Structure 1
Amino acid sequence: MKTTKYIALFTLALGLSATSCKDAKKENTQEEPTATVEKVVPENLKWSERMMLSEIHRFPEATKLDFATRARWTYTPGLVLSACARVYEATDKQEYYDYIYDYADTLIDSTGTIDTYSLEKQNLDMIKSGDVLLFLYPITKEERFLKAMQTLDSQLESQPTTSDGGYWHKKIYPYQMWLDGLYMAEPFHTKYANDYIQDETKKEEIYNHVVLQFDLIQKHSRDEASGLLYHGWDESKEQKWANKETGNSQHFWSRGMGWYGMAMVDVLDFLPENHPGREKIIKYLNQYAEAVTKVQDESGLWWQVLDQGDREGNYLEATGTSMFTYTFAKGVNKGYLPEKYLEVANKAYNGLLENLVTVEENGVVNLNQCCAVAGLGGNPYRDGSFEYYIGEKIRANDPKGTGPFIMASLELNK
């Protein structure tokens, strides 16, 4: 009986002790301050700066933009650094200028030779980073930057063309014009002619050739029924991806159309007011805006394969959406497009923020659901099928999305 009594008392004491410990632990927990994560990117800035600072955080060396393992001259750093130049102009913050300068300083030696660049490859993609030099040279007056620009201009002078004068996208892609190529080469070529070609006849020739690229892509790649443009056109009609009658690829790819829209609004910055090609490009831009708006999803976003939103496997894609947003916002701001397209741009931008943009605890901004890459032909062969476009890798923070997102944010003043 005594033993039972002692056991009962001991159990009661243990229970009280455990309760007491629990209460003490509870009190201690309440008293401990909540751990705060240091903000790498301040959240009181505009989205343009928040994304640019996030890119600098992800890629402290500008030459490694696009998840590169080594420094290289290519179009994706050129795209993000063009956006960075606009952020610098809007804020006058030295860190943005330094980031841009680091890219050119690392890759261009004292003689003006561009490391990892090959003129012989005649690759239009390589022209895009020339925009970095157009920004830096007037500030620095470093002769090496001017010489590098002259090299890029010489590529465009010798670039092989289709029978009617359209640039081949690359030497390894003969007789092919891609929508991408117009953004890669034409804004640089137009501004370079404007600022650095003294001979007026030569300057006019370049302007005419720039406009010709838009005329030809409209002629060969535009689908009359939808107003959308096919990703690629093969004059030879020999590629497996090419329609044997028209030479066009099979589908309307979101980012391909995005490149083309940005090419139009950016070239118009530099094409002289009195050049007859201006009105043509503005007309093309308005046709484009009407067609692209028709395939915008109710979320405000656009699909990877633009006109097949209800097809299984298709997805709402960030890079093309960011490019369209920028194109429409700038088009309206510059007076090329009617005011109604600002509503389209805002709807798209809000769609990005609500569906595809996430912010980490440290303030770093992510742009999700980006198509990593897409092309035509090559090895392994890219056949331009629906399955091909939806099957390419999807990743976050692709520079082909972050750069246009920054530029769209600036145009919309978000």
Structure 2
Amino acid sequence: MKSFKIFTLLAIALRVIFSCAQKPLQTSSQSTEKINIENISTKLPWSERMMRSEMKRFPQAWQLDFFKTPKWSYPNGLVLKCAELLFKKTGKKEYYDYIKGYTDELVNEDGTIKTYDIKKYNLDMLNSGNVLLYLYSVDKQEKYLKAIQLLRSQIDNQPRTSEGGFWHKKIYPNQMWLDGLYMAEPFYANYTKLFSTGAEAAKAYDDIANQFDVIQKHMVDSRTGLLYHGWDESKEQQWADKQTGLSPNFWGRAMGWYGMAMVDVLDYLPENHPGRTKLIGYLKSYSEALLKVQDTKTGLWYQVLDKGGQKGNYLEASASSMFVYTFAKAARKGYLPDSYKAIAKKGYDGIIKNLITVEKDGTVNLNQNCAVAGLGGTPYRSGTYDYYVNEEIRSNDPKGTGPFILASLELEK
């Protein structure tokens, strides 16, 4: 009996020692740490503080963008990309669960996606495909793969301009919007890297690079270097200039989407692809143009970029966050000079000082976000200066909080 007790105690001791020795090998997916959404610690980095605040505001990820019912949409994918990066960084499983909760609510067992209609050929719907690509890489569920393939099939039949540029949506014929480059191209490039090889991959990468080529050819203003929000090849829209087909203003967030599209697509475009050099060149000229319209006092950018002093214009959070992310990531990757790190930091400090407020329980708010802006449609959106500055302004729009988290993660590196 005595020897049995000694053996038992020895076994327990060895188990404890072995367990402690194995602890450093624990993977992030094994983390069971709970996030306290009731009180958000000010000791955490801004990236986590904002992510936790979003999860407190929107306990289910489908609620992001203030949705009342589950909907497949791009703001969800934007914020869930942040959750993915934070899960990889911290190992806190609640970030992963937040992602999975969205996809399992929206993706059916047969791979169809609730509220998604492929026949609308809406580029916005492709952005959340990045969430599926991540989840499929983790647990290989067949429904995720089928949903990924469904979204990818949209690209094959997406209506195009005469030079191969994707229409933004079927209901917006002959039109390219800067927004669409972020909605479609990172997903398209990510998918290609994961699933395509040989001639098929080469064709896809050429197609992706061409989307940026068409934008640069038609939408860059030769005087300022800024890019217009939209271009109508047919020149039929009321908002379109009858000679150029361009919309009349430089909307901050449109250029923000475009910058994020460039730095994210470069994550996937092969090193030897000729489009890579061109894309980095586009990024440099884009960035130089933005520096000229950055508010020197705050480091922020305006809703209408080149009209900072005009009545009604305001320092806008989503665009400012997008530019900070673009500059910080591009400088880290070596696409832009190191000087852009300081430029990004100045913009980021301006966001913290001027656009962030914190509640008593630690909940973080990002203020002065344009809720939405577009061109055409019903009611008709004219693209005039007055149109942009009179669209709804709201706090905690995911099109601002998502880029703020991305910017925070870059600068926290």
**TM-score normalised by L of structure 2:** 0.90
Which residue of structure 2 aligns with residue 9 of structure 1? none
Cα distance in 2 for residues equivalent to 1:339 and 1:144: 43
Equivalent residue letter for 1:217: I
Equivalent residue letter for 1:213: Q
Cα distance in 1 for residues equivalent to 2:342 and 2:289: 15
Question: Do residues 206 (structure 1) and 196 (structure 2) align?
Answer: no
Q: CA deviation at 1:334?
A: 0.6
Which residue of structure 2 aligns with residue 394 of structure 1? 393
Equivalent residue letter for 2:115: T
Of the three residues 236, 239, 254, the one matched with 2:237 is: 239
Question: Do residues 284 (structure 1) and 263 (structure 2) align?
Answer: no
**TM-score normalised by L of structure 1:** 0.90
User: Secondary structure, in 3 states, of the residue corresponding to 2:267?
Assistant: coil
Superposition pairs for residues 21-100 of structure 1, below 5 Å? 40-100=39-99
User: Secondary structure, in 3 states, of the residue corresponding to 1:362?
Assistant: coil
Q: CA deviation at 1:224?
A: 1.0
Question: Do residues 364 (structure 1) and 363 (structure 2) align?
Answer: yes
Q: Which runs of 4+ in 1 moved over 6 A?
A: none
User: Secondary structure, in 3 states, of the residue corresponding to 2:365?
Assistant: strand
Cα distance in 2 for residues equivalent to 1:320 and 1:302: 7
Which residue of structure 2 aligns with residue 162 of structure 1? 161
User: Secondary structure, in 3 states, of the residue corresponding to 2:231?
Assistant: strand
Of the three residues 214, 217, 222, the one matched with 2:215 is: 217
Q: CA deviation at 1:39?
A: 5.5
Cα distance in 2 for residues equivalent to 1:162 and 1:227: 23
Larger relative contact order (Cα-Cα within 8 Å, sequence gap ≥ 6)? 1
Cα distance in 2 for residues equivalent to 1:402 and 1:53: 11
User: Secondary structure, in 3 states, of the residue corresponding to 1:256?
Assistant: helix
Say whether the 8 Å CA contact 2:327–2:344 is kept in structure 1.
Answer: yes
Q: Percent identity at matched positions?
A: 60
Cα distance in 1 for residues equivalent to 2:316 and 2:291: 15
Say whether the 8 Å CA contact 1:39–1:361 is kept in structure 2.
Answer: no
Which deviates the most, 336-345 or 228-237?
336-345
Q: Can you give the 5+ residue segments of structure 2 that lack an aligned partner in the other structure?
A: 1-36
CA offset digits 1:364-414 (Å, max 9, x no partner): 000000000000000000000000000000000000000000000000007
Q: Can you give the 5+ residue segments of structure 1 that lack an aligned partner in the other structure?
A: 1-37
Q: CA deviation at 1:197?
A: 1.8
CA offset digits 1:95-151 (Å, max 9, x no partner): 000000001111001100100000000000000000101111010100100110101
Superposition pairs for residues 10-29 of structure 1, below 5 Å? none
Q: CA deviation at 1:42?
A: 1.1
Question: Do residues 254 (structure 1) and 252 (structure 2) align?
Answer: yes
Root-mean-square deviation (Å): 0.9
User: Secondary structure, in 3 states, of the residue corresponding to 1:270?
Assistant: coil
Equivalent residue letter for 2:388: Y
What number of residue pairs does the alignment pair up? 376
Cα distance in 1 for residues equivalent to 2:222 and 2:136: 43
Cα distance in 2 for residues equivalent to 1:374 and 1:339: 33
Equivalent residue letter for 2:335: Y
Which residue of structure 2 aligns with residue 342 of structure 1? 341
Say whether the 8 Å CA contact 2:121–2:169 is kept in structure 1.
Answer: yes
Say whether the 8 Å CA contact 2:64–2:76 is kept in structure 1.
Answer: yes
Say whether the 8 Å CA contact 2:38–2:56 is kept in structure 1.
Answer: no
Cα distance in 2 for residues equivalent to 1:49 and 1:300: 23
Cα distance in 2 for residues equivalent to 1:246 and 1:344: 33
Equivalent residue letter for 1:369: Q
